[in-house]
Structure 1
Amino acid sequence: MDTHIFDFLLKNLGEFYSYTGFANATPGHIIMILIGLVALYLGIGKKFEPMLLVPIGFGIIVGNIPFYPGMQIGIYEEGSVMNILYYGVIYGVYPPLIFLGIGAMTDFSSLISNPKLMLIGAAAQVGIFAAYMMALQFGYTAPEAGAIGIIGGADGPTAIFLSSRLAPDLMGAIAISAYSYMALVPVIQPPIMKMLTTNKERLIKMKPPRSVSRLEKITFPIVGIIITCFIVPSGLPLLGMLFFGNLLKESGVTKRLAVTASNSLIDVVTILIGLTVGASTQATTFLTAKSITIFGLGAASFVVATFSGILFVKFINIFLKEGNKINPLIGNSGVSAVPDAARVSNEVGQHYDKSNYLLMHAMGPNVAGVIGSAVAAGILLGFLA
């Protein structure tokens, strides 16, 4: 073979190799791909929130495939397909659509029948503001601290929406942290619930929720949007879509729209938000000391939120008569992880009494937590944006 041709082929092979992932890989890429594999294992093998962890885990792998800069394939490269899909996260488009779907699939009957359960959802939001103050102590700016604090609500869409407004640079770490703690609700919350309650409290049986009329169900989202958004107008994108989705469900005349919002639409948006948020964790931007601190603050925020919900129930029980007391095991469900936190309330309750069904009662503070986290996000936007 002619030496010139041989040299030319070697040069071509060298150029080809320089564009491969092998040539551009760093230890950070390998670490993040391993994290993605762990997320997939938890989602598929352990069935921890597979609807969240499978798209996010695969997205982490996609976002950390090493490539030569300038190839227009990375999520942060302007004009790439992944970058265009990521616009829905950057500009806060996906979270309101998620809230539309949540509203269309949520039954607020348990909350309407026992309005004081709303207070439990409000009490659990203490975790958000506690983490906000802790983040300030760690040297984060006020907007960054506000975005980090919302992790305590265990509400991924709200965390994305708020961080896109207050701290876009931290959005990947905040979103991954929020979704991780949502998925780990069955692991994190039960030990706290058992630690804070006595055996007598765990055996409290609550009265069955009263029957809620169709008129009440239709009126609730209309009154809800007016009251909450008059108080926190900045929460309108999330709260407006949440209550609109619920009205589609409860009105009885827009069944097709409600079915679309609660099925195909929310499924498509969940895929897009999970994949793009996962892909945003490129090692070069994600593996920082700030990201590790955010995970720690997020854990503290979530733990404080769980503590607050349970302790608040114990407090108001002091003023309630026997027969009307609330089982403190539903206090954990004041966070926004619907319906997993409510399921945990029920499972822990049945561990101590098989005949004690707490699920319907726990759904009250659980859906209140969804509203509460959106209101908290609106409050933080109001004085930080």
Structure 2
Amino acid sequence: MELLEKLYQMTAIQNMVDEPQILLMIFIAFFLLYLGIKKQYEPLLLVPIAFGMLIANFPGGQMGVEKIDENLTLYQIARDHGIMNFVYYSLIKTGFLPPIIFLGVGALTDFGPMLRNLRLAFFGAAAQIGIFTVLISAVAFGFTLKEAAALGIIGGADGPTAIYTTIKLAPHLLGPIAIAAYSYMALVPVIIPLVVRITTNKKELLINMKQQDKLYPSRRPIKDLQTLKILFPIGVGTIVALLVPSSVPLIGLLMFGNLVKEIGVSTGRLHKAASDTILNAATIFLGLAVGATMTAKAFLNMETIMIIVGGFIAFAISIAGGIYAVKVYNLFAKKKINPLIGATGLSAVPMASRVANEIALKHDPNNHLLQYAMASNISGVIGSAVAAGVLISFLG
């Protein structure tokens, strides 16, 4: 009987009996795994986050991220608080991983669609309205200005930017904000169609961008796109460094990653490393560590719930802001734009563009607008990072 009692004490069963909220968190983790594996909702993000959440909520495993004395050495953190706290405090809390992920994103990004359709890039800026709307609203609900800015940046739909901004402005909210940002990024295939259904009509969704190009061809076609694609990251990196220095860690590495991609064979090894090995490793560690912050103690409280609700509102307003910017533009322009282009002003590249393209094809099988959506989508990445830099400059 003593042996059986010791075996029972070794398990996590009694802990779950004493704290039934743990079972709720495990159920949520299983649900997120279902969305990532079965529904294919951004599995590269959702699967690591969900699995990190799962292993973090089993008592005794020391895999949950917790608040600890940040004066401890990394060795002490790993020895006394487990490997996941080591990953979190060394790679995420220091602000190391977000710029590294931007490096990989830049290496995977083709700015060609945006450069060919520069007028569409402005809708990426319009979609940032959710950031500032929720910032103001969050202050009204009792958050400090720095906390409200960290909450509002979720509206940019950019996980690394949200993490980086929160580290600089409200590090105590990093867990719930990271959870909200990455969860909503993974749920873009659900949120965008919902907002589009509320804010648009069928006639608007049937606007065919290729037909509009034929009716109103560009007066200034680009003669040497490849040279422009090399000069663009250099120019943007320089301008941003001069105007918004605090956003350089994100924009700078984004542009460097894109530059080594566009140069070609001579920097091929750098491009391969940035877009493959480095990005994949960073995504794994980031996803697991973010998921590990989602323990019952940290997640099931009113502040976290308010952040998640506020993040959803910021997300929805950003999508609607881009859509209504297109609607206003169409009132005055002969060359019409499909409102789905505005819906992709989020930073969730290329997921938002794929979702917009699927919606367009459902209404018209010949309405392929992926390359146009990417123009707005890519500019949204730059816009959210610059917005984060502005907030850090003013409030940091």
- TM-score of the aligned structures, taking structure 1 as reference length: 0.91
Match of 2:15 in 1: 24
Could you tell me which amino acid in structure 2 is paired with residue 216 of structure 1? L
Pairs within 5 Å for 1:309-324: 309-321=322-334, 324=335
1:231 to 235, 243, 252: 243
2:227 to 211, 215, 218: 215
Distance 1:125 1:224, change over 3 A: same
Structure 2 SS opposite 1:334: coil
1:350 to 341, 354, 361: 361
* Stretch deviating more after TM superposition (32-41 or 225-234): 225-234
Match of 1:181 in 2: 184
* Stretch deviating more after TM superposition (141-150 or 280-289): 280-289
Q: CA deviation at 1:328?
A: 1.4
Match of 1:364 in 2: 375
Provide the C-alpha distance between the structure 2 equivalents of 1:126 and 1:18, rounded to a whole number of angstroms: 53
Q: CA deviation at 1:196?
A: 2.4
Provide the C-alpha distance between the structure 2 equivalents of 1:353 and 1:59, rounded to a whole number of angstroms: 40
Q: CA deviation at 1:298?
A: 0.7
Pairs within 5 Å for 1:145-294: 145-206=148-209, 207=213, 213-252=225-264, 253-294=266-307
Could you tell me which amino acid in structure 1 is paired with residue 43 of structure 2? P
Match of 1:304 in 2: 317
Q: CA deviation at 1:74?
A: 4.5
Match of 2:73 in 1: none
2:109 to 103, 106, 110: 106
Indicate conservation of the 8 Å contact 1:221/1:243, yes or no: yes
Pairs aligned (count):
371
Indicate conservation of the 8 Å contact 1:18/1:24, yes or no: no
Provide the C-alpha distance between the structure 1 equivalents of 2:178 and 2:310, rounded to a whole number of angstroms: 13
Residue 47 (1) aligns with residue 40 (2): yes
Indicate conservation of the 8 Å contact 1:63/1:280, yes or no: yes
Could you tell me which amino acid in structure 1 is paired with residue 201 of structure 2? T
Distance 1:74 1:43, change over 3 A: closer
Q: CA deviation at 1:72?
A: 6.1
Q: CA deviation at 1:249?
A: 0.4
Q: CA deviation at 1:199?
A: 3.0
5+ residue gaps in structure 1? 1-8
Match of 1:81 in 2: 83
Distance 1:325 1:35, change over 3 A: same
Q: CA deviation at 1:379?
A: 1.1
Could you tell me which amino acid in structure 2 is paired with residue 263 of structure 1? D
5+ residue gaps in structure 2? 69-76
Provide the C-alpha distance between the structure 1 equivalents of 2:54 and 2:46, rounded to a whole number of angstroms: 12
* Stretch deviating more after TM superposition (14-23 or 209-218): 14-23
* Stretch deviating more after TM superposition (74-83 or 285-294): 74-83
Distance 1:28 1:223, change over 3 A: same
Provide the C-alpha distance between the structure 2 equivalents of 1:42 and 1:227, rounded to a whole number of angstroms: 40
Overall identity of the aligned pairs, in %: 49
Q: CA deviation at 1:195?
A: 3.2
Indicate conservation of the 8 Å contact 1:154/1:178, yes or no: yes
- TM-score of the aligned structures, taking structure 2 as reference length: 0.89
* Stretch deviating more after TM superposition (122-131 or 108-117): 108-117
Provide the C-alpha distance between the structure 2 equivalents of 1:328 and 1:154, rounded to a whole number of angstroms: 18
Q: CA deviation at 1:171?
A: 1.3
Indicate conservation of the 8 Å contact 1:89/1:273, yes or no: yes
1:128 to 126, 131, 134: 131
Match of 1:143 in 2: 146
Match of 1:3 in 2: none
Q: CA deviation at 1:16?
A: 6.6
Structure 1 SS opposite 2:307: helix
Distance 1:288 1:259, change over 3 A: same
Provide the C-alpha distance between the structure 1 equivalents of 2:286 and 2:279, rounded to a whole number of angstroms: 10
* Stretch deviating more after TM superposition (268-277 or 25-34): 25-34
Structure 2 SS opposite 1:354: coil
Provide the C-alpha distance between the structure 2 equivalents of 1:202 and 1:72, rounded to a whole number of angstroms: 50
The C-alpha deviation readout for 1:96-144, integer Å capped at 9, x for no partner, is 1110000001000111112222210000000011111111111111111
Provide the C-alpha distance between the structure 2 equivalents of 1:142 and 1:341, rounded to a whole number of angstroms: 29
Residue 336 (1) aligns with residue 347 (2): yes
Q: CA deviation at 1:318?
A: 2.4
Indicate conservation of the 8 Å contact 1:73/1:81, yes or no: yes
* Two-structure CA RMSD over aligned residues (Å): 1.9
Could you tell me which amino acid in structure 1 is paired with residue 393 of structure 2? G
* Stretch deviating more after TM superposition (31-40 or 360-369): 31-40
Q: CA deviation at 1:89?
A: 1.1
Indicate conservation of the 8 Å contact 2:64/2:293, yes or no: no
Structure 1 SS opposite 2:344: helix
Q: CA deviation at 1:27?
A: 2.0
Structure 2 SS opposite 1:91: coil
